[in-house]
Each structure stands twice: as C-alpha cells, then as structure tokens.
Structure 1
Amino acid sequence: MTTFPMPADEAEARALQDVLRERVVLDESGPPPGTGHVTGVDVAYDEERDVVVAAAVVLDAATLDVVDRSTARGKVTFPYVPGLLAFREIPAVLAALEALTADPGLVVCDGYGRAHPRRFGLASHLGVLTGLPVIGVAKNPFTFRYGQPGPHRGDFSPLLDGEEEVGRALRTQEGTRPVFVSVGHRTGLDNACAHTLALARDFRQPETTRRADALCRAALREAVA
C-alpha cells in the first residue's frame, strides 16, 4: 500500500510539496506512444456528503481498448485550496490504482504536473508517490499565459510562467480549444504531447480521461444513491 502523508494544514501541505518536488525525475523521456498500457485517473465529488470517488481505467495504448478498471471511495479530508488539490484527490486515486490487476504503464491525470505555481501539481505528486511515469493533461491553463496554437491537430504553443516553459497548449482536434499538457514524472514534454495526441484520436480530451471521468461519475452516483 502506497503511503500518503496527510498534512494538518495549508502550511504543512506546502512544505510537503517542497520536499517531494525534489524527487521529481525530469531526465527520462518516458515510454513510446502507442505501446504498452496507458491509464487515465479522475475523481468526482459529492461535497455535501464529503465523498470522493476515484477511477482508474487502463487502456491498451495501441487499440485504446479497456484492459482493466477500478474505483475507490473515500472521505474528503482536506479543504479546497487552489494549488493544493492533490491532497484532496490522491488518497482515493492511489487506492484506485492499487486495486488494478494490470500494469498501469503511463498514467494520464486530468490536471497539472510542472504547470503548477509550485511546479508540483497532481501529476508530479502522483508520479513521485508511485514511481510511475505520469503526465498532466488539463482543460484550462491555471494561471499561466500562452499564445493560441495554430489551427491544426498537433499545433502547439508554450505555456509560460515568465520566460519558463512549464507546459504546452496543444491542439488535439481542429475547431476545438487546446488542452494543456505538462510533465509530471519520468516523462519529457515532447513525449507527453505525443501521448496526448495518440490518445485524443476523435475528441479534444484523451480517451483515458474520457473513460475515467465516465467511470468515476457513475461510481459516485452509485455510492451516494
């Protein structure tokens, strides 16, 4: 069972981020797109009942067929604080990943890795705790600036904090808004974008995210019924 230290307050949470951030591996390119397994993770909340449900869905990277899936239910034990959302989500996500029987391979989070004010978003946090290669593919750019990428699938522009590139705005489909890709752990940015395109064959979001989102929402409805 992967251990997850739960901070008592915001100050402890930020201090823990500072410690764990030093363990992020940024000098590996990651597995080649279209090979092995890729796993999407996502969470859904019932705020009134303080319930969180996480889902993990393993896909064959070549065919995008489902290989394995799991869910985990927990209680929300940390308040909503921008920049510290991992402390609300990771305990349930870890439990869902550990319930899998298949090798997760590369993990795709609906969130951020390096594209985070403290350079330690959910994708980085999850990667450090599990040792798995992880990328973040978010719907919105958080606080960072970017220029619109070109109109074609595969066009991208840097996601910038000052002069530092913390991720990329990536066009996965023509006629749709870009997604925002960042490195979490044990992957490179070029490879993270290549994986995202390979997983977003027909829709704006990667198929990993779409499948995990649907599963955690269904599991939440069942949990609070």
Structure 2
Amino acid sequence: MNDPAVEQAVRLQLGMAHLVEQTAPAGFAPKVAVGLDVAYAQDSDRLIAAAVCVDMTTLTIVDSAVHEAVADFPYVPGLFAFRELPALLPALAKLTTSPDVLVCDGQGLAHPRGFGLACHIGVETGLPSIGVGKQALGQFEAPGPTRGDWKPLVDNGETVGRALRTQDDVKPVFVSVGHRIDLDTACDLVLKLSPRYRLPETTRAADHLGREALAGRVGVQDVRD
C-alpha cells in the first residue's frame, strides 16, 4: 500500500540532492567534531538522539547533549533521516560548543537517491558533514589490510564513497560525503578520529551516551557538559 508520507519524503530527497556541496570551505581546519547517533528503545518508537563534541587534537569530549523523542515516521530503508532528524536537530541545538564538522552514524552520498542522513543534516544546518556507515550501500573491493587502505564504493558506475580501513585487519567503514566536504578530507578526518578502534571516537561516544540515556543511567534533561 502506498504511503503518502513516504512518497513525499522520497520527493523531498530527490528535490534537495542538488543542494549538496562536495568541497570543503576555504581554509577548512576543524577543531571540534560532533558525533551524532540515535538509540532506539526496544518494542517502541521512543528514541534518544545524542550529540557529542570531540576535540580534534586530544579526542576528549568537550560537550554533549541528548534529546528524547518518539519517532512519528515509519521505518523505511533509505528514509532514516525522517525518523532521526526531528530529534538530532534539537540535540545539536542544546550544545554550548559550536561544531565545525558533523560525523553521522549513517550514509551521505552513498544512498539510493544520493541524499542520506549526513547530506540531509548538513544541508539543514549548513555545517560540513560526513557519513560513516557500518554497512556498504554499493559495491566495493576489499581494501588492503593496513590502516588507511581504501577502495572506491561504487553505485551504478558512480563513486559514492570509500571502503576505508581504520585499523589493521579489521572490517572497513564506509565513508561518504555529507555536505561541504570532499571525500579525501572526509577520509582524513575519519582516520584522525579513529586512532584505536574501527569506529570514530565521535560515533563511539554518541552511541554510548545515547544508550546510557535510554537506559536511564544519564538524565535526559541534565546532559550538557
């Protein structure tokens, strides 16, 4: 059965995809990266959106915020932004530190319509953004076994991202442009944010905070350090 909300969301993605900029601002040298993630409650539409600011030099957490919401959009592959953006944007607004780049647990250009969550939130906020996915949306050859090795991620003959090895002999992550950044710069930043583990420290911190808040171990109203 056709869902008008889903059809409208698809049209919106198609209509906004041309707004994505695949170049970084002049002199781009981010000092604070923000990890974004959403934790979902089991057997309900309750969710917690987490935003965590990480210092690019020390990789320490300098600010964080969460926002609790109830998803009002269905679970549809390729349309996760419409479930998560309504909570992620308020979480970002609660931060007291100004972010320089957003690191999303999801896709950017590596998306059926070239407009994944990282693109959508980048265009909405005007901030440079990167998609770092755990799963590939496209085809790729396995990169070499060494940290920093990569291979193109391809969809319909077009390069939409990279399979990037962030640690020796671990599964790659899948990096794609979100907005106002190029692929080389995006991959360099992901490597800087991933000195020890497969996933960037931004993603790990946001995932941890969201789960803690969902479990009630962190007060949703109190998290703003």
Same-fold call, TM cutoff 0.5: yes
CA distance in 2, matches of 1:31, 1:82: 36
C-alpha change, 1:194 and 1:29, in structure 2 (3 Å) is farther
Q: Partner residue of 2:37? A: 42
Q: Partner residue of 2:223? A: none
- Structure 1: any 5+ residue segments left out of the alignment? 1-6
CA distance in 1, matches of 2:179, 2:42: 30
CA distance in 1, matches of 2:27, 2:86: 25
Q: Partner residue of 2:222? A: none
Matched ranges for 1:66-215 at <5 A:
66-142=61-137, 144-215=138-209
Q: Partner residue of 2:11? A: 15
**What SS is found at the alignment partner of 1:203?**
coil
Report how far residue 43 of structure 1 moved: 0.2
CA distance in 2, matches of 1:104, 1:174: 30
For residues 77-107 of structure 1, what are the alpha-carbon distances to aligned partners after superposition, in whole Å with 9 as ceiling and x for unaligned?
A: 0001001011000111001000000011111
**What SS is found at the alignment partner of 1:22?**
helix
CA distance in 2, matches of 1:49, 1:148: 37
Please tell me whether the aligned partners of residues 24 and 128 of structure 2 are also in contact (alpha carbons under 8 angstroms).
Answer: no
C-alpha change, 1:80 and 1:24, in structure 2 (3 Å) is same
Report how far residue 26 of structure 1 moved: 1.7
CA RMSD of aligned residues (A): 1.9
- One-letter amino acid of the structure 2 residue matched with residue 146 of structure 1: F
Report how far residue 221 of structure 1 moved: 1.1
- The partner residue of 1:219 within 209, 213, 222 is 213
Please tell me whether the aligned partners of residues 108 and 131 of structure 2 are also in contact (alpha carbons under 8 angstroms).
Answer: yes
Report how far residue 149 of structure 1 moved: 0.3
C-alpha change, 1:96 and 1:110, in structure 2 (3 Å) is same
- One-letter amino acid of the structure 2 residue matched with residue 206 of structure 1: P
- Percent identical pairs in the alignment equals 50
For normalisation by structure 2, the TM-score amounts to 0.92
For residues 12-58 of structure 1, what are the alpha-carbon distances to aligned partners after superposition, in whole Å with 9 as ceiling and x for unaligned?
A: 0001111221211123367756x410000000111523201100000
C-alpha change, 1:30 and 1:70, in structure 2 (3 Å) is farther
CA distance in 1, matches of 2:68, 2:50: 9
- Structure 2: any 5+ residue segments left out of the alignment? 220-225
CA distance in 1, matches of 2:76, 2:88: 18
C-alpha change, 1:173 and 1:123, in structure 2 (3 Å) is same
C-alpha change, 1:172 and 1:216, in structure 2 (3 Å) is same
Please tell me whether the aligned partners of residues 196 and 206 of structure 1 are also in contact (alpha carbons under 8 angstroms).
Answer: yes
* Displaced runs of 4 or more, over 6 A: none
Please tell me whether the aligned partners of residues 31 and 106 of structure 1 are also in contact (alpha carbons under 8 angstroms).
Answer: no
